[in-house]
Amino acid sequence: MSYTQSPALTREEISAFLEKAKIARICSINKDGTIHAVPVWFNYDNDTIVIGTPKNSRRGRNIKRNNNVTVLIDEVGPPTRGVIIYGKASMDDKDMDQAAHSIFSRYMSEKEARGYWKGLSELTEWVIVIVKPIHIASFDYSKDTKYLEATKKYTS
């Protein structure tokens, strides 16, 4: 018996998927080599993933030390679809107000986004994390006939 990876999303499907997806999981490398994974709100802008993070958060410290990251964005299935972005992250403390607004506006009204950011900005210093993809992988189990056949015979 052998089974390979499910079919990929097309470039257009990836863009559409990232524009409507709500939660990303960003993975960075801890000092001891283990992986730190955390769910985040994000914005997909000009083929980059943009998130905000407290400047002194674990992911911020990890990225400062090693900017290799993986971002997983998927949806609950079955069948499941998703995008995995392997990339380099950079941090910037400029235009945090604009970045926060563009991220939070995906999840709430403009007024709520402004208030939400005002509250968070009083807690700590924030930075923008910009992930530039080096490689993008994707999967779409709804296109996978072997997967669909195998699961259907036990669920019908």
What averages of pLDDT result for each successive group of 10 residues across the chain (156 residues)?
76 94 97 97 92 95 98 89 97 89 93 92 93 96 81 70
What residues make up the domain containing 142?
11-151
- How far from 25 is each of 6, 51, 59, 100, 115, CA to CA, in Å? 21, 11, 11, 17, 24
Q: How many domains does the chain have?
A: 1
CATH code of 143's domain: 2.30.110.10
pLDDT at position 3: 59
Per the domain annotation, does 124 fall within a domain?
yes
- Predicted pLDDT at 19: 92
4 within some domain: no
Q: 72 with 28: CB under 8 angstroms? A: no
pLDDT for 13: 96
Q: Is residue 3 part of a domain?
A: no
Instruction: Establish if 55 belongs to a structural domain.
Output: yes
